Amino acid sequence: MIKPRLFTPGPTDVPPEVLIEMAKPIFHHRTERFRKMLAAVNASLKKLLMTGNDVLTLAGSGTCGMEAAIACAVPRDRKVLVANGGKFGERWGKVARAYGLDVDEVKLQWGTALEPETVRQKLSSGDYGAVVVVHSETSTATACDLQAIGEVVAGTDAILLADCITSAGALPLRTDEWHVDVVAAGSQKAFMLPPGLAFVAVSEKAWKNVESIKAPAFYLDLAAYRKALAGNDMPYTAPVSLIRGLKVSLEMIHEVGIEKIWTRTACLARATRAAAEALGMKVFSQRPSDSVTAILYPQGVGDEFRKQLREKYGCSVAGGQDELKGRAFRVSHMGYVDPLDALGLIAAVEYTLADLGVQVHLGAGVTAAMEVLKDWQ
Amino acid sequence: MIKPRLFTPGPTDVPPEVLIEMAKPIFHHRTERFRKMLAAVNASLKKLLMTGNDVLTLAGSGTCGMEAAIACAVPRDRKVLVANGGKFGERWGKVARAYGLDVDEVKLQWGTALEPETVRQKLSSGDYGAVVVVHSETSTATACDLQAIGEVVAGTDAILLADCITSAGALPLRTDEWHVDVVAAGSQKAFMLPPGLAFVAVSEKAWKNVESIKAPAFYLDLAAYRKALAGNDMPYTAPVSLIRGLKVSLEMIHEVGIEKIWTRTACLARATRAAAEALGMKVFSQRPSDSVTAILYPQGVGDEFRKQLREKYGCSVAGGQDELKGRAFRVSHMGYVDPLDALGLIAAVEYTLADLGVQVHLGAGVTAAMEVLKDWQ
């Protein structure tokens, strides 16, 4: 049998322990049992995101969480700086405009990241109420220096909203220490869960905005989630199965330790980049994220690569979007993936390249990756 | 997370499709629904074992199936030839003696197989009613030439009983064409199921014995299973969940095709042997089975190897038994295992050897295996 293996940068593989937990019978959410579970989950999420503030859990995708933050926390009468370095940065500009905000979009070349210096210059030259960045841009597999950007924004009265959907739980992220006012994350990435939950952490500075803004929002009203969470509850029908799965996955994550997971994820990413190089392929990004890697196809290879990789070797990876369409494939290093998975994928990549007529020294990529992964622990 | 990976020669990994099927609600076995299911399973098993005779399914381990065959089909007043080339051959001698049979045991050096010529000589020099052989001896990872032995026995009035527990569904096995009178198999090997079921195929020649022998058996009485199966039923309480899982796993097997699975299994075995050699290790058997490989540890390495392999890399393999205890590890190629699994295990073996101070060129084993596995299809 060919085993299906998921290396897409969301959704990612879910451990059997979590799948089994989610298969258990439904119970009602307006109960002490549910409130106890949500309290535990909230504590676990705070630990993961390294924040003293509550982490709101919404039933929805990552976009749902980011939109709630933009809708509720971005001041209406001032400009909002949005970094657009890929599909997701572009999306947050669209969302901000949908709420009638005055968007100043910094268009970045794909594969580059927003520079802290750019933020400093912008904020000192105009009246900005908020800065929206993507910590790890999934479409280009590029990470920005969120810590440095946080430092810049913290010196102003603007707030920093970070799309951490493809970074939380994978890349170093210290929400409070780095002064990130809003962190939005999604369940289907490093949280080892199916899609369906968004997480939003909000600083005191950002909550002040929420309190003063009358947002055209009901389901996405962060204040409603905060109010409910004060009683360990959710304002609308809670996705009970996903949350019980989340409780288990967070326990698994904390058993390893979040900082250790960052190190491991980075090691998987380095190994994958080393393999790509050893196979004569180029990593697309100039500032590669460690949670996802975009690799440019060699000359003469296109998206038939992904089809062959999936159909013959069982490995699903993502393709390129927009300007990377048909030019690259993207591999996740998030969540429930270990070195043997990563090596297996690299072997499958080698076979697929050979199948498509690319000259490959079978084993060269795996050997390069093994050298890096010997430090994984 | 380190993923647990099962490479023991039974139990083997079970596909999610089968696990999910077995997790479905229990239904009663004295129903048309059950009988319909068992009829389908019987047809599937006949196809897998390449026999026109019914395949009896017993709730029990492989030993349960072999014992039923020995108890019910081996004539009482004549000698029984038992090949003992390892733990399982040894066991069948013990079973035969437990039923008061006159056992002529051929003791083989571990790692060698019973020669057809030996069988010919024995059968022509004495009054034998049955020959008991192990097709693939799990303890030594050695396969015999069952087809040639079948040809020898077919020319006599003795019957041939074969322990095919670690061969059925993995190694070429053509029950009727090869004149194997009794084939016994177990669910936890190439059938991609948990332990709990034994399968016994019985030829017309062997049924004649069963009819004339009054065996001291009730639960193990093959005649009871045959009678029940004539009505698509089982004589005692049927393990409904295992059988519904079996129906699905057999469908998965036949979707690929049993002969293709033989080829694939052999390819995995060849790749593993090539990797062992490339890493300076020796395969133990002089006539290696393709369903399981026994590899001798290098100088200075003992069973701490298996502990490290499991604890640090998540891979479970079996150790050696008796004279191989502490000297070798054994790897299964049966059932739900694909090339990327096999390569992952080899990578883990390389890391573990290096951890234990053996000089290893990281990637050498994987590279050798990849060269072989490029022909897997």
Nearest to A336 among B1, B315, B371 (CB): B1
CATH code of residue A103 = 3.40.640.10
**Do residues A219 and A230 both lie within one domain?**
yes
What confidence tens digit (pLDDT) does each residue in A206-252 have? Answer: 999 999 999 999 999 999 999 999 999 999 999 999 999 999 999 99
> Judging by beta carbons within 10 Å of its beta carbon (0-12, 13-18, 19+), is residue B146 exposed, middle or buried?
buried
Nearest to A343 among B23, B252, B344 (CB): B344
Encoding tokens for residue B94? 């013990």
What are the beta bridge partners of residue A283?
A295
Domain span at residue B171 reads 16-256
**Do residues A196 and A55 both lie within one domain?**
yes
Query: What pLDDT, on a 0 to 100 scale, did the predictor assign at position A309?
Result: 98
Query: What pLDDT, on a 0 to 100 scale, did the predictor assign at position B377?
Result: 83
Are the C-beta atoms of B12 and B6 separated by less than 8 Å?
A: yes
Last residue of a domain, one of B204, B225, B256: B256
Q: Would you tell me which residues 314-343 of chain A have a C-beta closer than 8 angstroms to some C-beta of chain B?
A: 314-315, 336, 338-341, 343
Residue with tokens 């002969």: B259
Are the C-beta atoms of B15 and B249 separated by less than 8 Å?
A: yes
Chain B positions touching A252 (Cβ under 8 A) are: 1
CATH code of residue B274 = 3.90.1150.10
Are the C-beta atoms of A1 and B336 separated by less than 8 Å?
A: yes
Query: What pLDDT, on a 0 to 100 scale, did the predictor assign at position B361?
Result: 97
| Averaged pLDDT score across all residues of chain A | 97
Encoding tokens for residue A211? 């309190």
| DSSP 8-state secondary structure symbol assigned to residue A211 | H
CA distance A282 to A328: 9
Kindly tell me if the per-residue pLDDT of A102 is higher than 90.
yes
**Do residues B159 and B265 both lie within one domain?**
no
Identify the CA nearest to A354 among candidates A314, A298, A303.
Answer: A298
Kindly tell me if the per-residue pLDDT of A377 is higher than 90.
no
Neighbours of B69 (CB within 10 A): 32
Nearest to A1 among B256, B347, B362 (CB): B256
Locate all alpha helices (DSSP H) within B59-215, ordered by sequence.
62-73, 87-98, 116-125, 146-154, 204-212
3-state secondary structure of A239: coil
**Do residues B221 and B107 both lie within one domain?**
yes
Kindly tell me if the per-residue pLDDT of B1 is higher than 90.
no
Q: Where are the beta strands (DSSP E) in chain B?
A: 5-6, 55-59, 79-84, 102-107, 128-134, 136-137, 142-143, 159-163, 182-186, 197-202, 292-296, 315-316, 318-319, 328-332
Residue with tokens 């479970």: B316
Last residue of a domain, one of A256, A288, A304: A256
**Which of B366, B373, B376 is the best residue to mutate to test the A interface, defined by the most A CB atoms within 10 Å of its own CB?**
B366
Using CA of residue B230, residue B233, residue B236, residue B238, what is the dihedral sign?
A: positive
**Do residues A87 and A156 both lie within one domain?**
yes
3-state secondary structure of A372: helix
> Would you place residue B241 in the very low, low, confident or very high pLDDT band (cuts 50, 70, 90)?
very high
What amino acid is encoded at B69 in this protein?
A
**Do residues B222 and B280 both lie within one domain?**
no
**Do residues A100 and A237 both lie within one domain?**
yes
CA distance A328 to A312: 19
CA distance A201 to A182: 5
The pairing of beta strand A328-332 with beta strand A159-163: unpaired
User: CB distance B363–A344 less than 8 Å?
Assistant: no
Buried b (16+ CB within 10 A) or exposed e, B228-239: bbeebbbbeebb
Length of chain B as a residue count: 377
Q: Alpha-carbon Rg of chain B, whole angstroms?
A: 21
Angle between helices B222-230 and B62-73 (to 10 degrees): 100
CA distance B48 to B260: 12
Chain B positions touching A5 (Cβ under 8 A) are: 340
| Residue A93 distance to chain B (closest CA, Å) | 36
Nearest residue on chain B to A264, judged by CA atoms? B1
Residues B179-208: what's their mean pLDDT?
98
> Would you place residue A1 in the very low, low, confident or very high pLDDT band (cuts 50, 70, 90)?
confident
CA distance A339 to A265: 10
**Do residues A329 and A280 both lie within one domain?**
yes
3-state secondary structure of A353: helix
- The fraction of chain B above a pLDDT of 70, given in percent, is 100
CA distance A120 to A103: 17
Residues B53-57: what's their mean pLDDT?
97
What confidence tens digit (pLDDT) does each residue in A138-178 have? Answer: 999 999 999 999 999 999 999 999 999 999 999 999 999 99
- The fraction of chain B above a pLDDT of 90, given in percent, is 99
**Do residues A221 and A298 both lie within one domain?**
no
Q: Where are the beta strands (DSSP E) in B273-366?
A: 292-296, 315-316, 318-319, 328-332
| Residue B256 distance to chain A (closest CA, Å) | 7
Last residue of a domain, one of A256, A287, A322: A256
| Averaged pLDDT score across all residues of chain B | 97
ipTM here: 0.92
Encoding tokens for residue B122? 């024995």
CA distance B23 to B28: 15
Residues B322-340: what's their mean pLDDT?
97
| DSSP 8-state secondary structure symbol assigned to residue B324 | G
Residues B351-367: what's their mean pLDDT?
97
User: CB distance B367–A371 less than 8 Å?
Assistant: no
B214: Cβ–Cβ under 8 A, 6 or more apart, which residues? Answer: none
pTM of the model: 0.94
Q: How far apart are the first and last CA of chain A?
A: 30
> Could you give phi then psi for residue B58, rounded to 5 degrees?
-115, 145
3-state secondary structure of A295: strand
**Do residues B202 and B292 both lie within one domain?**
no
What amino acid is encoded at A156 in this protein?
T
User: If you count residue pairs, one on A and one on B, with CB atoms under 8 Å apart, how many are there?
Assistant: 92
CA distance B310 to B288: 24
The pairing of beta strand A128-134 with beta strand A136-137: unpaired
- The fraction of chain A above a pLDDT of 70, given in percent, is 100
Encoding tokens for residue B226? 């045959």
- The fraction of chain A above a pLDDT of 90, given in percent, is 99
Encoding tokens for residue A67? 């939109």
User: CB distance B252–A340 less than 8 Å?
Assistant: no
Residues A189-216: what's their mean pLDDT?
97
Encoding tokens for residue A66? 């980011």
Please give the angle made by the CA atoms of A343, A348 and A353, to the nearest 5 degrees.
Answer: 125
Neighbours of B155 (CB within 10 A): 11
**Do residues A105 and A239 both lie within one domain?**
yes
> Judging by beta carbons within 10 Å of its beta carbon (0-12, 13-18, 19+), is residue B377 exposed, middle or buried?
exposed
Query: What pLDDT, on a 0 to 100 scale, did the predictor assign at position B222?
Result: 98
Number of domains in chain B: 2
Using CA of residue A47, residue A50, residue A53, residue A59, what is the dihedral sign?
A: negative
Query: What pLDDT, on a 0 to 100 scale, did the predictor assign at position B140?
Result: 98
Query: What pLDDT, on a 0 to 100 scale, did the predictor assign at position A126?
Result: 96
Kindly tell me if the per-residue pLDDT of B59 is higher than 90.
yes
User: CB distance B363–A363 less than 8 Å?
Assistant: yes
Are the C-beta atoms of B340 and A348 separated by less than 8 Å?
A: yes
Long-range contacts of A279-285 (CB under 8 A, 24+ apart): A279/A349, A279/A350, A279/A353, A279/A360, A279/A364, A279/A365, A283/A141, A284/A110, A284/A111, A284/A140, A284/A141, A284/A324, A284/A328, A285/A111, A285/A140, A285/A141, A285/A142
* Interface contact A367, partner B, CB < 8 A: yes
Using CA of residue A71, residue A76, residue A81, residue A82, what is the dihedral sign?
A: positive
Buried b (16+ CB within 10 A) or exposed e, B252-267: ebeeeebeebbebbbb
* Interface contact A260, partner B, CB < 8 A: no
Residues A320-324: what's their mean pLDDT?
94
Encoding tokens for residue A370? 């093994």
Encoding tokens for residue A175? 């929400």
Chain B positions touching A339 (Cβ under 8 A) are: 313, 347
For B188-213, give the secondary structure using H, E and C: CCCCCCCCCEEEEEECHHHHHHHHHC
**Do residues B21 and B120 both lie within one domain?**
yes
Length of chain A as a residue count: 377
* Interface contact B192, partner A, CB < 8 A: yes
Query: What pLDDT, on a 0 to 100 scale, did the predictor assign at position B206?
Result: 98
Encoding tokens for residue A234? 């959710």
What confidence tens digit (pLDDT) does each residue in B133-146 have? Answer: 999 999 999 999 99
What confidence tens digit (pLDDT) does each residue in B200-220 have? Answer: 999 999 999 999 999 999 999
